[in-house]
Amino acid sequence: MTTTPILPTALLGAALLLAGCAVGPEYRRPEVATPPAFKEADGWVAARPADAIERDRWWAGFHDPELDRLAARVAVSNQNVAAAVAAFAQARALVGERRAVLLPAVNLTGSANRTSLATAVTPTQRLRLDLGATWEADVWGRLRRAVGGAEAGAQASAGDLATATLSAQGELVTNYLLLRQADAQRRLLASAIDDYQRVVTITDNRYRAGVAPKTDLLQAQTQLASARSEHAGLEAQRAQLEHAIAVLVGEAPANFSLPPQAGWQPTVPAAPAVIPSELLQRRPDIAAAERRMAAANAQIGIARSAHYPSIGLSAGTGAFGRTGADLLSAPTTLWSIGVSLTQSVFNAGLVKSRVQGAEAAYEQEVANYRQTVLAAFQQVEDQLVANRVLSEQEQMLATAAAAATQAQQQVLNRYRAGQVSFLEVAVAQTTALNAQRALLQMQSNRQVAGVGLIQAIGGGWVAGQP
Protein backbone atom coordinates (compact mmCIF):
# COMPACT_ATOMS: atom_id res chain seq x y z
CA MET A 1 0.00 0.00 0.00
CA THR A 2 1.29 3.48 -0.84
CA THR A 3 0.17 6.97 0.02
CA THR A 4 0.73 10.08 -2.10
CA PRO A 5 2.23 13.24 -0.56
CA ILE A 6 -0.38 15.59 0.81
CA LEU A 7 1.46 18.56 -0.73
CA PRO A 8 3.20 18.89 -4.08
CA THR A 9 6.85 18.00 -4.29
CA ALA A 10 7.57 21.66 -5.03
CA LEU A 11 6.48 22.58 -1.52
CA LEU A 12 8.98 20.13 -0.07
CA GLY A 13 11.73 21.70 -2.14
CA ALA A 14 10.68 25.17 -1.04
CA ALA A 15 10.75 24.08 2.59
CA LEU A 16 14.31 22.85 2.23
CA LEU A 17 15.39 26.05 0.50
CA LEU A 18 13.85 28.21 3.20
CA ALA A 19 15.47 26.21 5.98
CA GLY A 20 18.31 28.70 6.02
CA CYS A 21 15.97 31.61 6.82
CA ALA A 22 15.41 32.83 10.36
CA VAL A 23 13.06 35.44 11.75
CA GLY A 24 13.83 37.65 14.70
CA PRO A 25 16.60 40.14 15.48
CA GLU A 26 20.24 39.15 15.26
CA TYR A 27 21.90 39.48 18.64
CA ARG A 28 24.42 42.26 19.18
CA ARG A 29 25.77 43.08 22.60
CA PRO A 30 24.55 46.53 23.64
CA GLU A 31 27.19 49.20 23.94
CA VAL A 32 28.15 50.20 27.47
CA ALA A 33 30.05 53.43 28.04
CA THR A 34 33.31 52.58 29.81
CA PRO A 35 35.63 55.27 31.18
CA PRO A 36 39.22 55.21 29.96
CA ALA A 37 40.49 54.68 33.50
CA PHE A 38 39.18 54.24 37.03
CA LYS A 39 38.72 57.49 38.93
CA GLU A 40 40.34 56.20 42.13
CA ALA A 41 43.24 54.54 40.32
CA ASP A 42 45.22 57.78 39.99
CA GLY A 43 48.60 57.13 41.50
CA TRP A 44 47.70 53.52 42.28
CA VAL A 45 50.48 51.21 41.17
CA ALA A 46 50.92 47.57 42.08
CA ALA A 47 53.65 47.11 44.67
CA ARG A 48 55.13 44.22 42.69
CA PRO A 49 54.27 42.38 39.48
CA ALA A 50 51.46 39.86 39.92
CA ASP A 51 51.62 38.25 36.48
CA ALA A 52 53.37 35.17 37.85
CA ILE A 53 50.40 34.33 40.09
CA GLU A 54 48.03 31.85 38.47
CA ARG A 55 44.75 33.55 37.71
CA ASP A 56 42.68 30.72 39.15
CA ARG A 57 44.68 30.81 42.41
CA TRP A 58 44.51 34.52 43.22
CA TRP A 59 44.78 33.84 46.96
CA ALA A 60 48.37 32.63 46.43
CA GLY A 61 49.38 36.28 46.73
CA PHE A 62 48.98 35.98 50.50
CA HIS A 63 51.85 33.43 50.58
CA ASP A 64 50.15 31.14 53.09
CA PRO A 65 50.32 27.37 52.35
CA GLU A 66 47.46 26.64 54.75
CA LEU A 67 45.26 29.18 53.00
CA ASP A 68 46.20 27.66 49.62
CA ARG A 69 45.07 24.25 50.83
CA LEU A 70 41.76 25.47 52.21
CA ALA A 71 40.86 27.73 49.27
CA ALA A 72 41.44 24.90 46.79
CA ARG A 73 38.89 22.78 48.65
CA VAL A 74 36.10 25.30 48.14
CA ALA A 75 35.57 24.44 44.47
CA VAL A 76 35.29 20.75 45.39
CA SER A 77 33.48 20.61 48.73
CA ASN A 78 31.46 23.81 49.16
CA GLN A 79 27.76 23.01 48.89
CA ASN A 80 26.75 26.34 47.33
CA VAL A 81 29.31 25.72 44.61
CA ALA A 82 28.04 22.14 44.26
CA ALA A 83 24.53 23.50 43.68
CA ALA A 84 25.86 25.85 40.99
CA VAL A 85 27.70 22.93 39.37
CA ALA A 86 24.44 20.97 39.23
CA ALA A 87 22.62 23.96 37.72
CA PHE A 88 25.33 24.23 35.07
CA ALA A 89 25.00 20.51 34.24
CA GLN A 90 21.25 20.97 33.91
CA ALA A 91 21.75 23.90 31.51
CA ARG A 92 24.14 21.85 29.39
CA ALA A 93 21.62 19.00 29.27
CA LEU A 94 19.03 21.46 27.99
CA VAL A 95 21.36 22.37 25.13
CA GLY A 96 21.52 18.70 24.13
CA GLU A 97 17.75 18.48 24.32
CA ARG A 98 17.31 21.49 22.03
CA ARG A 99 19.86 20.19 19.53
CA ALA A 100 18.15 16.81 19.33
CA VAL A 101 15.00 18.44 17.94
CA LEU A 102 16.94 19.59 14.87
CA LEU A 103 17.36 15.97 13.73
CA PRO A 104 14.64 13.56 12.54
CA ALA A 105 12.91 11.41 15.14
CA VAL A 106 12.77 7.71 14.25
CA ASN A 107 10.25 5.39 15.90
CA LEU A 108 9.78 1.65 15.69
CA THR A 109 6.35 0.29 16.66
CA GLY A 110 4.96 -3.17 16.63
CA SER A 111 1.52 -4.62 17.35
CA ALA A 112 -0.16 -8.00 17.53
CA ASN A 113 -3.85 -8.77 17.94
CA ARG A 114 -6.07 -11.82 17.76
CA THR A 115 -9.75 -11.51 16.87
CA SER A 116 -12.60 -13.94 16.52
CA LEU A 117 -16.13 -13.68 15.13
CA ALA A 118 -19.08 -15.74 16.28
CA THR A 119 -19.36 -17.29 12.80
CA ALA A 120 -15.63 -17.97 12.44
CA VAL A 121 -14.22 -21.38 13.13
CA THR A 122 -10.76 -20.20 14.13
CA PRO A 123 -9.54 -16.81 15.47
CA THR A 124 -7.71 -14.44 13.14
CA GLN A 125 -4.18 -13.33 14.09
CA ARG A 126 -2.62 -10.12 12.73
CA LEU A 127 0.94 -8.84 13.23
CA ARG A 128 2.23 -5.41 12.25
CA LEU A 129 5.68 -3.74 12.36
CA ASP A 130 6.24 -0.06 11.41
CA LEU A 131 9.35 2.10 11.14
CA GLY A 132 8.62 5.82 10.85
CA ALA A 133 10.49 9.10 10.85
CA THR A 134 9.31 12.66 11.37
CA TRP A 135 11.18 15.92 10.97
CA GLU A 136 10.15 19.54 11.36
CA ALA A 137 11.76 21.79 8.79
CA ASP A 138 13.27 24.72 10.68
CA VAL A 139 12.17 27.17 7.99
CA TRP A 140 11.89 30.22 10.22
CA GLY A 141 14.77 29.42 12.57
CA ARG A 142 12.61 28.67 15.62
CA LEU A 143 14.51 25.51 16.53
CA ARG A 144 17.91 27.08 15.88
CA ARG A 145 16.92 30.04 18.02
CA ALA A 146 15.99 27.61 20.78
CA VAL A 147 19.40 25.95 20.53
CA GLY A 148 21.17 29.31 20.57
CA GLY A 149 19.12 30.43 23.55
CA ALA A 150 19.92 27.22 25.43
CA GLU A 151 23.63 27.61 24.68
CA ALA A 152 23.55 31.20 25.93
CA GLY A 153 21.72 30.01 29.02
CA ALA A 154 24.39 27.37 29.64
CA GLN A 155 27.11 30.00 29.30
CA ALA A 156 25.21 32.22 31.75
CA SER A 157 25.05 29.26 34.12
CA ALA A 158 28.82 28.88 33.75
CA GLY A 159 29.13 32.53 34.77
CA ASP A 160 26.90 31.88 37.77
CA LEU A 161 29.12 28.95 38.71
CA ALA A 162 32.24 31.10 38.48
CA THR A 163 30.54 33.83 40.53
CA ALA A 164 29.50 31.36 43.23
CA THR A 165 33.00 29.89 43.35
CA LEU A 166 34.66 33.30 43.50
CA SER A 167 32.25 34.44 46.23
CA ALA A 168 32.80 31.32 48.35
CA GLN A 169 36.58 31.54 47.92
CA GLY A 170 36.52 35.22 48.83
CA GLU A 171 34.46 34.50 51.93
CA LEU A 172 36.84 31.74 52.99
CA VAL A 173 39.94 33.88 52.45
CA THR A 174 38.37 36.75 54.40
CA ASN A 175 37.38 34.50 57.32
CA TYR A 176 40.81 32.90 57.33
CA LEU A 177 42.57 36.27 57.47
CA LEU A 178 40.25 37.46 60.24
CA LEU A 179 41.01 34.29 62.19
CA ARG A 180 44.75 34.85 61.84
CA GLN A 181 44.24 38.47 62.84
CA ALA A 182 42.38 37.27 65.95
CA ASP A 183 45.35 35.01 66.72
CA ALA A 184 47.69 37.99 66.36
CA GLN A 185 45.48 40.07 68.65
CA ARG A 186 45.52 37.27 71.22
CA ARG A 187 49.31 37.08 71.08
CA LEU A 188 49.51 40.84 71.53
CA LEU A 189 47.13 40.72 74.49
CA ALA A 190 49.04 37.77 75.96
CA SER A 191 52.24 39.84 75.80
CA ALA A 192 50.42 42.81 77.35
CA ILE A 193 49.07 40.56 80.10
CA ASP A 194 52.63 39.50 80.91
CA ASP A 195 53.65 43.17 81.09
CA TYR A 196 50.64 44.02 83.26
CA GLN A 197 51.46 41.11 85.55
CA ARG A 198 54.99 42.44 86.02
CA VAL A 199 53.60 45.90 86.78
CA VAL A 200 51.24 44.36 89.35
CA THR A 201 54.22 42.67 90.98
CA ILE A 202 56.24 45.92 91.01
CA THR A 203 53.30 47.89 92.38
CA ASP A 204 52.59 45.26 95.03
CA ASN A 205 56.22 45.42 96.19
CA ARG A 206 56.07 49.21 96.31
CA TYR A 207 52.79 49.05 98.24
CA ARG A 208 54.25 46.60 100.79
CA ALA A 209 57.29 48.85 101.10
CA GLY A 210 55.00 51.77 101.86
CA VAL A 211 56.08 53.87 98.90
CA ALA A 212 52.88 53.42 96.83
CA PRO A 213 49.22 53.73 97.85
CA LYS A 214 46.86 50.77 97.62
CA THR A 215 44.94 52.53 94.83
CA ASP A 216 47.95 52.01 92.57
CA LEU A 217 47.79 48.26 93.24
CA LEU A 218 44.04 48.15 92.63
CA GLN A 219 44.41 50.04 89.35
CA ALA A 220 47.14 47.66 88.21
CA GLN A 221 44.98 44.64 89.10
CA THR A 222 42.00 46.15 87.25
CA GLN A 223 44.06 46.72 84.15
CA LEU A 224 45.29 43.11 84.27
CA ALA A 225 41.80 41.65 84.72
CA SER A 226 40.41 43.73 81.82
CA ALA A 227 43.13 42.50 79.47
CA ARG A 228 42.44 38.88 80.46
CA SER A 229 38.74 39.40 79.76
CA GLU A 230 39.44 40.77 76.28
CA HIS A 231 41.75 37.83 75.62
CA ALA A 232 38.93 35.39 76.44
CA GLY A 233 36.52 37.31 74.19
CA LEU A 234 38.88 36.90 71.24
CA GLU A 235 38.80 33.14 71.81
CA ALA A 236 35.05 33.08 71.15
CA GLN A 237 35.48 35.22 68.01
CA ARG A 238 38.18 32.90 66.71
CA ALA A 239 36.02 29.82 67.31
CA GLN A 240 33.16 31.30 65.30
CA LEU A 241 35.48 32.06 62.38
CA GLU A 242 36.84 28.52 62.52
CA HIS A 243 33.28 27.16 62.36
CA ALA A 244 32.51 29.34 59.33
CA ILE A 245 35.64 28.10 57.54
CA ALA A 246 34.64 24.48 58.23
CA VAL A 247 31.25 24.99 56.56
CA LEU A 248 32.84 26.72 53.56
CA VAL A 249 35.08 23.70 52.91
CA GLY A 250 32.16 21.31 53.37
CA GLU A 251 32.93 19.92 56.82
CA ALA A 252 31.05 19.82 60.10
CA PRO A 253 32.61 22.27 62.60
CA ALA A 254 33.06 19.43 65.10
CA ASN A 255 35.41 17.65 62.68
CA PHE A 256 37.49 20.67 61.73
CA SER A 257 40.25 22.54 63.54
CA LEU A 258 42.72 25.19 62.51
CA PRO A 259 45.56 25.58 65.03
CA PRO A 260 47.30 28.91 65.54
CA GLN A 261 50.19 29.63 63.22
CA ALA A 262 53.31 30.84 64.95
CA GLY A 263 55.04 33.78 63.34
CA TRP A 264 52.14 34.68 61.05
CA GLN A 265 52.52 38.14 59.55
CA PRO A 266 49.82 40.01 57.59
CA THR A 267 50.53 40.29 53.87
CA VAL A 268 48.64 42.36 51.33
CA PRO A 269 48.97 40.98 47.78
CA ALA A 270 49.39 43.19 44.77
CA ALA A 271 46.29 42.98 42.59
CA PRO A 272 46.82 43.20 38.82
CA ALA A 273 45.96 46.58 37.36
CA VAL A 274 42.84 46.46 35.19
CA ILE A 275 41.37 49.06 32.87
CA PRO A 276 37.57 49.43 32.84
CA SER A 277 37.02 47.80 29.44
CA GLU A 278 38.78 44.63 30.64
CA LEU A 279 36.37 44.42 33.53
CA LEU A 280 33.59 43.44 31.12
CA GLN A 281 35.52 40.26 30.28
CA ARG A 282 36.95 39.46 33.71
CA ARG A 283 33.82 39.60 35.85
CA PRO A 284 31.77 36.37 35.72
CA ASP A 285 28.57 38.13 36.81
CA ILE A 286 28.89 40.56 33.87
CA ALA A 287 29.52 37.66 31.50
CA ALA A 288 26.45 35.84 32.85
CA ALA A 289 24.28 38.96 32.46
CA GLU A 290 25.46 39.39 28.86
CA ARG A 291 24.65 35.76 28.03
CA ARG A 292 21.16 36.15 29.50
CA MET A 293 20.62 39.00 27.05
CA ALA A 294 21.54 36.66 24.20
CA ALA A 295 19.10 34.03 25.50
CA ALA A 296 16.33 36.62 25.78
CA ASN A 297 17.05 37.82 22.24
CA ALA A 298 16.63 34.25 20.97
CA GLN A 299 13.20 34.10 22.61
CA ILE A 300 12.07 37.05 20.44
CA GLY A 301 12.82 35.05 17.28
CA ILE A 302 11.05 32.01 18.71
CA ALA A 303 7.97 34.07 19.49
CA ARG A 304 7.93 35.78 16.06
CA SER A 305 8.22 32.46 14.23
CA ALA A 306 4.71 31.60 15.44
CA HIS A 307 3.39 34.09 12.82
CA TYR A 308 4.51 31.71 10.08
CA PRO A 309 3.42 28.17 9.21
CA SER A 310 5.28 25.16 10.49
CA ILE A 311 6.21 22.52 7.94
CA GLY A 312 6.71 18.89 8.86
CA LEU A 313 7.99 15.93 6.89
CA SER A 314 7.19 12.32 7.59
CA ALA A 315 8.15 8.98 6.11
CA GLY A 316 7.50 5.43 7.09
CA THR A 317 7.62 1.83 6.09
CA GLY A 318 5.99 -1.21 7.57
CA ALA A 319 4.79 -4.75 7.12
CA PHE A 320 1.80 -6.79 8.25
CA GLY A 321 0.75 -10.40 8.18
CA ARG A 322 -0.52 -13.33 10.14
CA THR A 323 2.87 -14.80 10.97
CA GLY A 324 6.39 -13.59 11.50
CA ALA A 325 7.37 -14.88 8.08
CA ASP A 326 4.70 -12.67 6.49
CA LEU A 327 6.48 -9.59 7.88
CA LEU A 328 9.42 -10.38 5.61
CA SER A 329 7.31 -10.88 2.50
CA ALA A 330 7.38 -8.11 -0.09
CA PRO A 331 3.62 -8.12 -0.87
CA THR A 332 2.86 -7.38 2.78
CA THR A 333 5.05 -4.25 3.06
CA LEU A 334 3.92 -0.65 2.74
CA TRP A 335 5.53 2.76 2.73
CA SER A 336 4.44 6.36 3.01
CA ILE A 337 5.82 9.86 2.73
CA GLY A 338 4.11 13.13 3.50
CA VAL A 339 4.41 16.83 4.09
CA SER A 340 2.27 18.72 6.60
CA LEU A 341 1.69 22.44 6.95
CA THR A 342 0.16 24.10 10.00
CA GLN A 343 -0.78 27.78 10.12
CA SER A 344 -2.62 29.55 12.93
CA VAL A 345 -5.61 31.41 11.49
CA PHE A 346 -6.98 33.09 14.63
CA ASN A 347 -5.50 33.21 18.12
CA ALA A 348 -6.96 36.43 19.55
CA GLY A 349 -3.59 38.21 19.56
CA LEU A 350 -1.81 35.43 21.46
CA VAL A 351 1.28 35.43 19.23
CA LYS A 352 1.51 39.22 19.23
CA SER A 353 1.35 39.29 23.03
CA ARG A 354 4.06 36.66 23.27
CA VAL A 355 6.31 38.67 20.96
CA GLN A 356 5.74 41.81 23.01
CA GLY A 357 6.50 39.87 26.19
CA ALA A 358 9.73 38.48 24.71
CA GLU A 359 10.82 41.95 23.61
CA ALA A 360 10.08 43.36 27.07
CA ALA A 361 12.03 40.50 28.68
CA TYR A 362 14.99 41.33 26.45
CA GLU A 363 14.86 45.00 27.43
CA GLN A 364 14.80 43.92 31.07
CA GLU A 365 17.93 41.82 30.57
CA VAL A 366 19.61 44.78 28.82
CA ALA A 367 18.87 46.99 31.83
CA ASN A 368 20.10 44.27 34.21
CA TYR A 369 23.32 43.96 32.20
CA ARG A 370 24.02 47.68 32.25
CA GLN A 371 23.23 47.87 35.96
CA THR A 372 25.59 44.96 36.63
CA VAL A 373 28.35 46.77 34.74
CA LEU A 374 27.75 50.03 36.64
CA ALA A 375 27.72 48.18 39.97
CA ALA A 376 31.01 46.49 39.03
CA PHE A 377 32.61 49.85 38.24
CA GLN A 378 31.41 51.17 41.61
CA GLN A 379 32.81 48.18 43.50
CA VAL A 380 36.22 48.59 41.89
CA GLU A 381 36.27 52.33 42.60
CA ASP A 382 35.24 51.70 46.23
CA GLN A 383 37.92 49.07 46.74
CA LEU A 384 40.60 51.19 45.06
CA VAL A 385 39.99 54.14 47.34
CA ALA A 386 39.72 51.83 50.37
CA ASN A 387 43.08 50.22 49.60
CA ARG A 388 44.76 53.58 49.03
CA VAL A 389 43.39 55.23 52.20
CA LEU A 390 43.97 52.18 54.39
CA SER A 391 47.59 52.02 53.21
CA GLU A 392 48.10 55.64 54.26
CA GLN A 393 46.40 55.02 57.61
CA GLU A 394 48.56 51.96 58.26
CA GLN A 395 51.72 54.04 57.90
CA MET A 396 50.40 56.62 60.36
CA LEU A 397 49.32 53.97 62.87
CA ALA A 398 52.69 52.23 62.60
CA THR A 399 54.39 55.50 63.56
CA ALA A 400 51.92 56.00 66.43
CA ALA A 401 52.40 52.44 67.73
CA ALA A 402 56.19 52.75 67.72
CA ALA A 403 56.04 56.06 69.60
CA ALA A 404 53.51 54.76 72.13
CA THR A 405 55.61 51.66 72.83
CA GLN A 406 58.71 53.77 73.39
CA ALA A 407 56.78 56.16 75.68
CA GLN A 408 55.45 53.22 77.69
CA GLN A 409 58.92 51.91 78.37
CA GLN A 410 60.23 55.31 79.42
CA VAL A 411 57.29 55.96 81.78
CA LEU A 412 57.71 52.50 83.33
CA ASN A 413 61.42 53.18 83.95
CA ARG A 414 60.58 56.49 85.61
CA TYR A 415 57.93 54.77 87.76
CA ARG A 416 60.47 52.25 89.00
CA ALA A 417 62.66 55.21 89.96
CA GLY A 418 59.73 56.78 91.80
CA GLN A 419 59.59 59.82 89.51
CA VAL A 420 55.97 59.45 88.28
CA SER A 421 52.70 58.11 89.64
CA PHE A 422 51.10 54.85 88.61
CA LEU A 423 48.38 56.75 86.76
CA GLU A 424 50.95 57.80 84.17
CA VAL A 425 52.06 54.19 83.83
CA ALA A 426 48.48 52.99 83.34
CA VAL A 427 47.79 55.65 80.73
CA ALA A 428 51.02 54.87 78.87
CA GLN A 429 50.34 51.14 78.88
CA THR A 430 46.76 51.55 77.70
CA THR A 431 47.83 53.96 74.98
CA ALA A 432 50.56 51.61 73.74
CA LEU A 433 48.25 48.56 73.71
CA ASN A 434 45.49 50.43 71.90
CA ALA A 435 47.96 51.75 69.32
CA GLN A 436 49.36 48.28 68.67
CA ARG A 437 45.90 46.76 68.42
CA ALA A 438 44.75 49.52 66.09
CA LEU A 439 47.75 48.81 63.85
CA LEU A 440 46.91 45.11 63.76
CA GLN A 441 43.28 45.91 62.98
CA MET A 442 44.32 48.26 60.19
CA GLN A 443 46.56 45.59 58.69
CA SER A 444 43.62 43.20 58.80
CA ASN A 445 41.39 45.81 57.14
CA ARG A 446 43.96 46.22 54.37
CA GLN A 447 43.98 42.46 53.77
CA VAL A 448 40.18 42.30 53.62
CA ALA A 449 40.14 45.29 51.27
CA GLY A 450 42.74 43.53 49.13
CA VAL A 451 40.44 40.50 48.87
CA GLY A 452 37.58 42.83 47.96
CA LEU A 453 39.62 44.47 45.20
CA ILE A 454 40.68 41.15 43.71
CA GLN A 455 37.07 39.99 43.70
CA ALA A 456 35.86 43.30 42.26
CA ILE A 457 38.16 42.97 39.24
CA GLY A 458 37.07 39.37 38.65
CA GLY A 459 39.53 37.32 40.69
CA GLY A 460 40.69 34.36 38.67
CA TRP A 461 38.31 34.97 35.78
CA VAL A 462 40.29 34.67 32.57
CA ALA A 463 39.68 37.50 30.10
CA GLY A 464 37.82 36.40 27.01
CA GLN A 465 36.47 33.18 28.52
CA PRO A 466 32.65 32.90 28.17
Q: Which residue has the higher pLDDT, 11 or 214?
A: 214
The pLDDT, as a whole number, for residue 106 is: 87
Q: What is the pLDDT of residue 13?
A: 53
- pLDDT digit string (tens) for 18-33? 455 677 788 888 888 8
**What is the per-residue pLDDT for 345?**
83
Q: Which of 63-72, 259-268, 332-341, 400-409 has the lowest mean pLDDT?
A: 332-341
Q: Which helix (H) or strand (E) holds 166?
A: helix 142-208
Average pLDDT (1-9) is 43
Q: How far is CA 35 from CA 40, 58, 367, in A?
A: 12, 26, 19
398, 436 Cβ separation under 8 angstroms: no
Quick check: 150 and 98 in contact, CB under 8 A? yes
Higher local confidence (pLDDT), 134 or 240: 240
Using pLDDT thresholds of 50, 70 and 90, give the confidence band for residue 172: very high
> What proportion of the chain, given as a percentage, has pLDDT over 70?
86
Mean pLDDT of the chain: 83
Q: Which amino acid is at 366?
A: V
Residue 124 has pLDDT above 80, yes or no: no
Instruction: State which H helix or E strand residue 337 sits in.
Output: strand 333-342
Q: How high is the pLDDT of residue 399?
A: 95
Pairing state between β 124-137 and 310-321: antiparallel
Residue 180: is its pLDDT beyond 80? yes
Give the model confidence (pLDDT) of 382-420 as tens digits: 998 998 899 999 999 999 999 999 999 999 899 888 888
Count CB-CB contacts under 10 A for residue 385: 16
- pLDDT of 336 reads 82
The pLDDT value given to residue 194: 92
pLDDT at 293: 92
Which of 11-15, 212-216, 461-465 has the weakest average pLDDT? 461-465
The pLDDT of residue 4 is above 50: no
CA dist 17 to 9, 134, 140, 308, 313, Å?
13, 18, 11, 16, 14
Give the distance from CA 18 to its chain's centroid. Answer: 42
Buried-exposed string 156-172: b where 16+ CB fall within 10 A, e elsewhere: bbbbbbbbbbbbbbbbb
Give residue 24's pLDDT.
78
Closest CA to 340 of 321, 313, 363, 379: 313
Q: Which of 247, 365, 264, 329 minimizes the C-alpha distance to 62?
A: 264
Size (the chain), residues: 466
Rounded to whole angstroms, how far apart are CA atoms 428 and 411? 7
pLDDT value for 42: 61
Q: Looking at residue 393, what is its pLDDT?
A: 93
pTM: 0.79
23-102+140-306+355-456 is classed CATH 1.20.1600.10 = yes
CB atoms within 10 A of CB 416: 13
Weakest-pLDDT range from 46-50, 88-92, 224-228, 433-437? 46-50
- Return the half-sphere exposure (C-beta side, CA atoms, 13 A cut-off) of residue 86: 6
- Summarised one tens digit per residue, pLDDT across range 247-286 is 999 999 999 999 998 888 888 877 666 777 777 777 889 9
Helices 284-304 + 142-208 axis angle, to 10: 160
pLDDT of residue 329: 65
Strands 105-115 and 124-137: antiparallel
Looking at residue 272, its pLDDT comes to: 65
The domain locations on the chain are 23-102+140-306+355-456
The band of 363, judged by pLDDT with boundaries at 50, 70 and 90, is very high
Evaluate if residue 62 carries a pLDDT over 90. Answer: no
